[in-house]
Amino acid sequence: MTKSIENPIHLDALVVAAHPDDAELGMGGGILKMLAQGLKVGVLDLTSGEPTPHGSLEIRAAETQAATDVLKLSWRGNLGLPNRSLEPTLAARKELASVIRLTRPRWLFAPFWVDAHPDHTAATELVDAARFWAKLSKTDMPGERFHPERIFNYYCVHLKMHATPAFVLDISEFWEQKIEAIGCFESQFVTGREQMDPSFLDQLKIEAAYWGKTIGVKYGEPYNSREPIGLSGFDKLV
């Protein structure tokens, strides 16, 4: 996919995803919640996500645009790095750090750092390194030096594992919109999965209901962080 980081704007949060659909799967509810609170949220897909068994560059691009429209994202870009062979190279680190300097997000979101998918772990390593590089001086990277306050990690993993999150976000109000955005990626989650019982989308609902149950709400989304998470008070706890 051709690199596309057109017209970057200053953001409150930048969600970095290895592939188009990872952000929707891992934290579609969180994205919608932040947008509803008036925050500017962008997604940067690192690769095209193709090839896949039932997709193509054209199909995936159309699905990504449809999901973007459902979420009503403030901005979305794609670095055009190689799918299936994503690596945390110095060149890729510089490209991602440049986007961070141009969008200046308070928070970065990256995939959870343990996964069977090498692209996902490479993406997380890139985010960690690019966050540091974005604050460098005396560099030819565009934009002013900048250091996001936090990196949070969302779960979009290919391991049969039980997450131990740092916190679970109540996304009950936004579940239907989240699953609509995920459903836009028909080539990934519907085509070729017709015999699954429960369906892939139903499995996502079961998982979200489980995480909601852990905090006493209908649907939840788990998140993690390598760094401690501070609280200014207990008034926002569920």
Tens of pLDDT along 3-30? Answer: 778 888 999 999 999 999 999 999 999 9
- The mean pLDDT value for 94-115 works out to 98
Q: Please name the amino acid found at residue 162.
A: H
**Cα–Cα distance, 121 to 65 (Å, whole number):** 25
Q: Please name the amino acid found at residue 190.
A: V
Tens of pLDDT along 41-93? Answer: 999 999 999 999 999 999 999 999 999 999 999 999 999 999 999 999 999 99
**Which stretches does DSSP call E strand in 59-197?**
75-81, 107-111, 150-154, 167-170
Structure tokens at 178: 């989240």
Domains within the chain, CATH numbers bracketed:
13-224 (3.40.50.10320)
pLDDT at 237: 87
pLDDT at 2: 52
pLDDT at 1: 40
pLDDT at 197: 92
pLDDT at 154: 98
pLDDT at 3: 77
Question: Which residues touch 69 (CB under 8 Å, ≥6 apart)?
Answer: none
pLDDT at 44: 98
Tens of pLDDT along 139-196? Answer: 999 999 999 999 999 999 999 888 999 999 999 999 999 999 999 999 999 999 999 9
pTM of the predicted model as reported, rounded to 2 decimal places:
0.96
